[in-house]
Amino acid sequence: MTEAFQAIKITDEVYWVGAIDWKLRSFHGYTTHRGTTYNAFLVLTDKITLVDTVKKAFMGEMMSRIASVIPPEKIDYIISNHAEMDHSGALPETIKAVNPEKVFASVKGQQALDAHFRMGDTVIPLKDGETLSLGNANIMCMETRLLHWPDSMFTYLDKGGVLFTQDAFGMHLATSERFTDEVDSYLVEYEAATYYANILMPYSKLVKRQLDKLKGRNLEINYIVPDHGPIFRNNLDRILDCYERWSAQEPSMKAVLAYDTMWGSTEMMAKAIADGMVQGGLSVKMFYMQDEHRSNVASALLEAGAFVVGAPTINGVIFPTIADVLTYIKGLRPQNLVGAAFGSYGWSGESIKHLEDDLKQMKIEMVTESLKCNYVPDNEMLVKCRTVGEKVASKLSELCGT
Ligand code: FEO
C-alpha cells in the first residue's frame, strides 16, 4: 500500500521518519515563526530500532513514514534520547502499536518517562558509555544531562558514524529539506543560534564539558542528527565551532538595548545612550519591547557584551513588558555581560531600583550609575545618557582588548 507520508533516506541504515510542524509559533515562551520538525529515525540494522518519536499529534505522520519502509510491528527496539513531550508524546501509543522487544532510555530518562506516562519497568535504563548491540551494528549511549533536560542523552551508531543528538545542534525550522547543506547557510546558523540562546544558554558550562567529552571519545562522526530541523552531514566543524563559541560567551563589541516607553521620555534616553555606544565603537541592537518578542532579545544577547535596559515606572513598579523580558533573560543566565539601567518617572521612580536588582541578580557588571529622569529629559540629561553609552563602550573595549 502506498503511504501518505514517505521516509527519507539519510544513510544506508538510517531513515528520517519524523514530522514537519509548519505552524508551530511558540515553544514554551520562545517564538518559533518558522515552525519546526520533530525528528524520529528508523535504523535498519539486524535489530530494527526507532530512535525517538514525535509530538503526540504527529504520531500518524510518523507511523505512515515508518510504514513506507517496513511494517511498524517489525521494530525491535525503541530508544528515547529525550523525555520532553515533543519527542516522547507519541511514545506510549507507539509502544502499543509496535509492541517492541525492548525500549531504552538513559537512567534519568527511564525515571522521566515513568513520571510522564507511568511506564514502570517498560523502559530499560542505559548507563553512560553503555553499548547496545543491534546485531550488525552497535549503538552507544552518552549521557548529556541538561542538554536539554536531566534525562537527555546522545546515541552513536557506529555503522555510518551517525550521532543522534536530540535537542543539541537542533533548530526550530520547518523545511522540506532534510540536510543543512540544502538550506541557506545564513538561515541555518541564525536558527541554530536562536535555538541555542533560547534553549541551551543556561547550560553553557555543561555544553562545553560535553563537547570536550565528545572530542575525547574520538568517534568517527559523519552525521550530526538532531531532533529538530535539518541534519548536518558536511562541514561538521562549522556547527561544532559555533557551539564552542556560543558556550564560551566571550565579551564582544556588541550591545543589546531593550526598552519600553510611556510618553517617549525613556525612548529619548534610549536613543542618546545608543548613540553614545555607537560612537564608542559598539554595534547596537535596539529592542522596543512593545513590539518585540522576548526571545529575540535572548538571541541577540548570545553574542553580545552588554545589556542595557530602560523602563519607565508605572504605579510604583517596573513597566510590564520590561519585567517580562527580564524574567525570561534571568532564567537563561547569559554570562560575561556588562550593563546599565535607565528610565523616566513621574513622582517616585521605583523602576530603576528594580532594573538594577534584576541586572545584578544576572551577575551583569554595572558600568555606571543608573540614570533616572523626572518626566521629560532636557539636553543636559540626554548628554548624561550619551555618556552612559560611551562608558559602556569603553568598558567593553577594555574587556575585548580593542
Ligand atoms: Fe525538543 Fe527538550 O525538547
Per-residue pLDDT of the chain (402 residues; tens, 9 = 90+): 689 999 999 999 999 999 999 999 999 889 999 999 999 999 999 999 999 999 999 999 999 999 999 999 999 999 999 999 999 999 999 999 999 999 999 999 999 999 999 998 999 999 999 999 999 999 999 999 999 999 999 999 999 999 999 999 999 999 999 999 999 999 999 999 999 999 999 999 999 999 999 999 999 999 999 999 999 998 899 999 999 999 999 999 999 999 999 999 999 999 999 999 999 999 999 999 999 999 999 999 999 999 999 999 999 999 999 999 999 999 999 999 999 999 999 998 999 999 999 999 999 999 999 999 999 999 999 999 999 999 999 999 999 998
Instruction: Give, in order, the Cα–Cα distances in Å from 356 to each of 41, 70, 307, 315.
Output: 47, 59, 12, 18
Whether 250 and 243 have beta carbons less than 8 Å apart is answered as no
User: 382: CA distance to ligand 1 center in Å?
Assistant: 45
| Maximal CA-CA distance, the chain | 77
Q: Whose CA is nearest to atom 3 of ligand 1?
A: 84
Q: Which residues are catalytic?
A: 28, 82, 84, 86, 148, 167, 195, 228
Angle between helix 320-332 and 294-301 (nearest 10): 40
User: 240: CA distance to ligand 1 center in Å?
Assistant: 19
Angle between helix 107-117 and 91-98 (nearest 10): 90
* Rama region for 292: left / alpha / beta (φ>0; ψ in -120 to 50; rest): beta
Determine which helix (DSSP H) or strand (DSSP E) holds 30, and give its type and residue range: strand 30-31
Looking at the CA of residue 170, tell me the nearest atom of ligand 1. Answer: 1
**To 5 degrees, how large is the angle CA 50–CA 58–CA 207?**
60
User: 100: CA distance to ligand 1 center in Å?
Assistant: 24
